[in-house]
Structure 1
Amino acid sequence: MQNLFVKSQELVSLKSKNLYIDIVNLQSKFFYCSIVFLLLSTFCLNAQQGFSLLKGKKKDRINFELVNNLVVIPVEVNGTKLSFLLDTGVNATIIFSLSENDSLEVKDTTPIKLRGLGEGDAIDGLKSIGNKVRIGDAIDFNHTLYFIFDESLNFSPRMGIPIHGILGYDFFKKFVVQTNYVSKTLKFYDPDFYSPKKCRKCETFNLVFNKNKAFIKVEANIENEKEDLLLLVDTGSSDALWLFNEYNILTEEPKNYFDDFLGLGLSGNIYGKRSRIDKVKLGSFNFKEITVAFPDSVSLQNARKFKKRDGSLGGNFFKRFTTIIDFTNKKLTLKKNSNFSDPFYYNMSGLTLEHNGLDYKLEKKQERVSNGYSSTTNDNNSSSINTISSIQRFQFKLVPKYIVAEVRKDSPAFISGIEKGDEVVLINGKQAHQWKLFEINQLFSSKAGKRITMEILDKNGTKKRVRFVLKKVF
């Protein structure tokens, strides 16, 4: 065991041990080993294990960012402020993607190997115990962290904001958690003091647990056949629905699917197929023409440990509700919000963009300058005259740079000539850096028939203007 002070981009030498922990980044999860620590603290009434609220607190509320249907919360780790995805589907707290300016104290470390979704093999990491983790007024003084130093594992470029890690079961097991996707607020309650409010428009569902993961039963109408599905409650997936069995949904004549990049996993890229299914029903909530993704078999090899699992229910589904997740009593409560009737769209451009560092832009600013002077007339009356002139000032500003990470074959963007590695300069007449990445993704998923004009800088440094129209594949 050792203590380290880790700074991003340092080379960390790890000797591999025969210790493997199965995790799934946004879909497959950590095996969690619980270690009991007794703490005496001025913040706690009694000795505590895991997260607890400050003395006298029964609940807390924090704001979050909603990016690509994912909840991103502020988390303080050993005094360092970071940003984490809040993911119901992971068993342990994972840290990765520290920027070159971030530094973080790491305590009591042991080398490990980690496996997750994706095409690659297990990767090196560190297990660290005895860390202080704080979320709002909730603190854990003996938190176990898993550190990954693979530079290729970086969710921040695809999200457009810094993402330093993922937090899941360790948080949800201690609180009743309410997520308001419209106001972007997270409330969490001490279960011993939580009393659910009467809500005529709410529906509560039972959760089924397997190895600390919550599952829910959903009814689907597939090709006029009723299917009962057991789905992972996965707030760390940006899609609405993932299925592991194709259920004869996919057809060639007419073709009702396309191959696509589905996401980034701990073991590499995740690819699969996208399509739609007729209807999904959960209680009295009915959804038609819901988008569905089918991950390929290579990506799924670490996700099928629970044989009864049929897939995942993700952020594009849950963002249509205010959700109350109660792991203690194995309950999920849903209430419709203003997103409920939004159609389910996928990215119709075929483009996956990512943030690729910063660039200097010369910005022109117009400033008005007032100059005053006095003049004397013949009758000795004095008057003041002001002149106003306009001058231009220039300044350099650091702005985000976006490049094309993936282009789906035969998509509108592909046909227009956009290639992987191209830099995006303009989108619909607006400088690319003036867009947030999630806003671009929303634009590409907005509606069929929308016209997109882009200015691209190719890998040879040549600028070109391209146009395409968002088009439904099926």
Structure 2
Amino acid sequence: MKRTTFSKYLAFLFVIFLTAQTHAQFLGFRMSTGAKVIEFPFERYNNLIIIPVTINGRVTVKFILDSGVQNCILTEPLVASLLNLTYDRTITFTAPGQQDSILAHVAKNVQLKLPGIEGQGISMLVLDQDYLNLSNQLGTEVFGIIGYELFSRFIIEVNYDKKVVKFYEPNFFNPKKYYEKVPLIVRGTKPYMAAEITQKNGTKMNVALMVDSGASHAILLDQSTSSLIHLPEKNLEASLGKGLGGDIEGVVARVDKVKIGKYSFDDVIASYPNEGSYGLVPEEAERRNGTVGGEILSRFNHIYDYFSQTLYLSKSVEYQKKFEYDMSGLEVVAHGTELNRIRVVNVRENSPAKRAGVMEGDIIKTVNGLTITNTSLNFLTTLMRLKKGKKVTLRLLRNAEEVKVTFRLERMI
């Protein structure tokens, strides 16, 4: 073999070796097609962004895209059993809610795939039990949460108008000029932003809020972080949602104004967790006064750019929508093996539903003549905050008997 031919042959082998090494050493997420931008549709339930995730090439399930979560979490241990996941270790940690500690198993070297995006060598927390009951809360089968691993790798655009999410390679991202830039501070694995609130007592306050796409509320204000946070006299006791540690109890009320950059919202509903219910560790409490969630974020088409520490905002079609809270007094969940029944789990005292005779445990069969299906939980919760004075007729199943009730929606805060 001539020297020049032999040299070319060695070079060819070296390229193959490097290519093999590159593929062997690939960890984390990348675009599987070599594209610079990947776009795919998302589903929206209760202001949450739901995306498909395939685990180990075998099972595709729905995950919440959550900017407030550090680790990828599989919330349903039965899915882990089907996949025969092996665990490296077991850990305990604290999280918002009433429970003191959460037990989870750590699965390593997990493969995750989103449309056009693949991840290798991912560490995933598998909860010991389904603490969140996401499927029942949302009315569709959701079995996981994913966040920082994606936000730290890509620039991510959420377009609520088109119901699509876009992932950009950071070096190939050029924001449109019509986006408003809002500074985003990424500390540890979580994004924070500044906002100004005008409270019902007339005081203005600058607050630091974690940007939490995994929360449904507008804003949450934690009184334990500042003596300046004022709880309005007119408020309503409520279950504010579920954290990994269980139910987060507190009250809801209104603040006069929330200002983010050049944008301003009036008469915003704010959540105030009870002391001890939110469970912030001391260093977290020092960083933030609360969170901004999907009820405000959905009023923008927005882009998370952790690399330049910027949140890009552009008004969505929902920007002018009024902030409303449930006007019925009902707390409901999806029920049954196919999530095609809606069960009443709580009825607020002195509420329209309570006065009409709705009881905990009732199964809602029809709403204003429309039969309930597994897609109707979103419809029902939206209807119950739609318009003051709207007439609602429910046909209920109670102890094998049908009961019909009628009431009108009332604005309670």
Q: Residues 399 and 92 from structure 1, CA distance in 2 versus in 1: closer, same or farther, beyond 3 angstroms?
A: closer
Aligned residue among 207, 224, 235 for 2:184? 207
The answer to which structure has the higher strand fraction is 1
Q: Which amino acid aligns with 2:403?
A: K
CA apart distance, 1:48: 3.8
Aligned residue number for residue 422 of structure 1: 362
In structure 2, how many angstroms separate the alpha carbons of the residues matched to 1:182 and 1:409? 37
Structure 2 matches for 1:276-425, cutoff 5 A? 276-302=254-280, 305-306=283-284, 307-358=286-337, 400-425=340-365
In structure 2, how many angstroms separate the alpha carbons of the residues matched to 1:352 and 1:276? 20
- Structure-2-length-normalised TM-score: 0.89
Count of residue correspondences: 390
In structure 1, how many angstroms separate the alpha carbons of the residues matched to 2:375 and 2:124? 34
Aligned residue among 432, 442, 445 for 2:372? 432
Structure 2 matches for 1:82-97, cutoff 5 A? 82-97=61-76
Structure 2 matches for 1:16-165, cutoff 5 A? 47-54=25-32, 56-79=34-57, 80-97=59-76, 103-165=82-144
Structure 2 matches for 1:175-214, cutoff 5 A? 175-199=154-178, 202-214=179-191
In structure 2, how many angstroms separate the alpha carbons of the residues matched to 1:82 and 1:435? 17
Match of 2:403, SS state, is strand
- If you compute each CA radius of gyration, which structure gives the higher value, 1 or 2? 1
CA apart distance, 1:137: 1.6
CA apart distance, 1:350: 1.6
The percentage of counterpart residues that share the same residue type is: 30
In structure 2, how many angstroms separate the alpha carbons of the residues matched to 1:300 and 1:51? 32
In structure 1, how many angstroms separate the alpha carbons of the residues matched to 2:264 and 2:148? 28
Alpha-carbon RMSD: 2.2
The runs of at least 4 consecutive aligned structure 1 residues that moved more than 3 Å come to: 40-49, 98-102, 246-252, 302-305
Unaligned runs of 5+ in 1: 1-39, 359-397
CA apart distance, 1:56: 2.5
Query: Cα deviations across residues 31-79 of structure 1 (Å, max 9, x unaligned)?
Result: xxxxxxxxx8779679444211125211101110011110000011111
Match of 2:137, SS state, is helix
Match of 1:57, SS state, is coil
Aligned residue among 235, 238, 250 for 1:257? 235
In structure 2, how many angstroms separate the alpha carbons of the residues matched to 1:468 and 1:421? 18
- Structure-1-length-normalised TM-score: 0.78
Q: Which amino acid aligns with 1:221?
A: T
The answer to which structure has the higher helix fraction is 2
Q: Residues 54 and 41 from structure 1, CA distance in 2 versus in 1: closer, same or farther, beyond 3 angstroms?
A: farther
In structure 1, how many angstroms separate the alpha carbons of the residues matched to 2:121 and 2:80? 26
CA apart distance, 1:286: 1.0
Q: Residues 435 and 140 from structure 1, CA distance in 2 versus in 1: closer, same or farther, beyond 3 angstroms?
A: closer
Unaligned runs of 5+ in 2: 1-17
In structure 2, how many angstroms separate the alpha carbons of the residues matched to 1:55 and 1:467? 55
